Amino acid sequence: GEDVEQSLFLSVREGDSSVINCTYTDSSSTYLYWYKQEPGAGLQLLTYIFSNMDMKQDQRLTVLLNKKDKHLSLRIADTQTGDSAIYFCAESLYNFNKFYFGSGTKLNVKP
Amino acid sequence: SQTIHQWPATLVQPVGSPLSLECTVEGTSNPNLYWYRQAAGRGLQLLFYSVGIGQISSEVPQNLSASRPQDRQFILSSKKLLLSDSGFYLCAWSRDREVNEQFFGPGTRLTVL
């Protein structure tokens, strides 16, 4: 099977940067994704990165991919209380229909 | 625009009873469809996915089954629920494209007592 791992919790102060980390095991990953889940709701795609890229920036979000170490991170600049949610990393493999999610990192932003 | 519906939103069922959760998608045709379970404090587990009517792939052996009787309808079923079936069930759809963005429904909270 495919293992995608994340730390369970992260707590930051409003205005600080948040860095959420993820590791995966399958080197045949094609795309890697970050999803956000607000309480009691489904998931929404935040951003994604193709596996041959090192970095992708999208407004306050920066995704870094270290393919050698199979490590993915999401940096949120100027974190706001509205960013409090669970963040999931996910990978899709050569079969684009298959998706594997991490356990999710609960981000708590303190005012 | 596309929308995805799940019902019921919440469900409390006794052990041994049957289950039927329904998911429908509007505004698109021939979507890929997925069922996930999110157990308390755990991540998303892919249960089933379907690339077309009557085509179901199961990811893990379990007490559940899925069916796709129509193009935009995906049903999750069980003949006899177990306590371990409790969780938050999410349906999702995606287009058959390389960047497989998934669009999630609101979820069904299932509690088996």
Question: Which among B43, B99, B100 has CB closest to A102?
Answer: B43
Q: Are B75 and B10 in contact (CB under 8 A)?
A: no
pLDDT given for residue A95 in this prediction? 62
Angle at A48 between CA B100 and CA B68, to 5 degrees: 20
Provide mean pLDDT across the span A42-71: 90
Instruction: Provide the number of CB pairs (under 8 Å) joining chain A to chain B.
Output: 61
Nearest CA of chain A to the CA of B106: how many Å? 5
Q: Among partner residues A41, A92, A102, which is closest to B100 by beta-carbon distance?
A: A92
Q: Which residue stretches of chain B have pLDDT < 70?
A: 40-42, 61, 97-99
Q: Say how far apart CA A97 and CA B102 lie, in whole Å.
A: 10
Buried b (16+ CB within 10 A) or exposed e, A43-63: bebbbbbeeeeeebeeeeebb
Best interface-test mutation with B: which of A37, A99, A100, A105 has the largest number of B CBs within 10 A? Answer: A99
| Cα four-point dihedral sign A38, A41, A47, A49 | positive
Most A CBs within 10 A among B6, B23, B44, hence the mutation to make, goes to B44
Q: Which pLDDT band, with edges at 50, 70 and 90, does A20 fall under?
A: very high
* Residue A51 pLDDT: 82
d(C-alpha A18, C-alpha B38), whole Å: 24
CA angle A4, A86, A61 (to 5 degrees): 85
What pLDDT score was predicted for residue A1? 43
Distance CA B76, CA B49 (A): 11
